[in-house]
Amino acid sequence: MGKPKIKHLALFARDTVKLAKFYQTVFDMELLHGDGPGKAHYLSDGYFTLAILPHKLEASAMTGLNHFGFSIENRDEIFARLAPTGVEEPKKRPADRPYAEYRAVDPEGNWFDLSEHGYETAETADQRA
């Protein structure tokens, strides 16, 4: 099995359009998917994917880091490695979410996604099937 690679990071932002344009302008990131004001935007530098997620004042998290994501080759092997660490078993992501298929947590409570599909193409579970 290849070494898992971090290829995805998600940020909460108050103005998703403005932040997406910032990363496009400053770092030449390509917009992969964006639904407009107040909606999620996904950008890539050709290797790494950045998700800019809408933050609302009544949300349970501050602006900033939400989660990061690993591109993996074998879900079962990673699940087996996670089991003896005592962390909660990874949970399947909602079918309408593009990119990652599972969400997991580290011992400190930091969320991370696991994706066999990868982060290069925005596809929901139905589109991957």
Question: Pairing relation of β-strands 102-105 and 111-115?
Answer: antiparallel
- Residue 108: the pLDDT is 72
- Assign 103 to helix, strand or coil: strand
- Residue 24: the pLDDT is 93
- Better-predicted residue by pLDDT, 64 or 20: 20
17-27: pLDDT as tens digits: 999 998 998 77
For the chain, which domains are there?
5-109 (3.10.180.10)
Whether residue 119 has pLDDT greater than 90 = no
Nearest CA to 98 out of 14, 20, 19, 40 is that of 40
8 within 8 A of 113, measured Cβ to Cβ: yes
* 58 contact partners, CB below 8 Å, separation of at least 6: none
43-56: pLDDT as tens digits: 998 988 999 989 88
Write out the H or E segment, with its range, that includes residue 16. helix 16-27
24-41: pLDDT as tens digits: 987 788 999 887 888 899
Which residue type occupies 107? P
77-115: pLDDT as tens digits: 999 999 999 899 999 988 887 778 899 988 778 888 888
Cα angle vertex 14, ends 110, 120, to 5°?
60
Q: Which two tokens stand for residue 63?
A: 């602006």
The Cβ of residue 51 has, within 10 Å, a number of other Cβ atoms equal to: 26
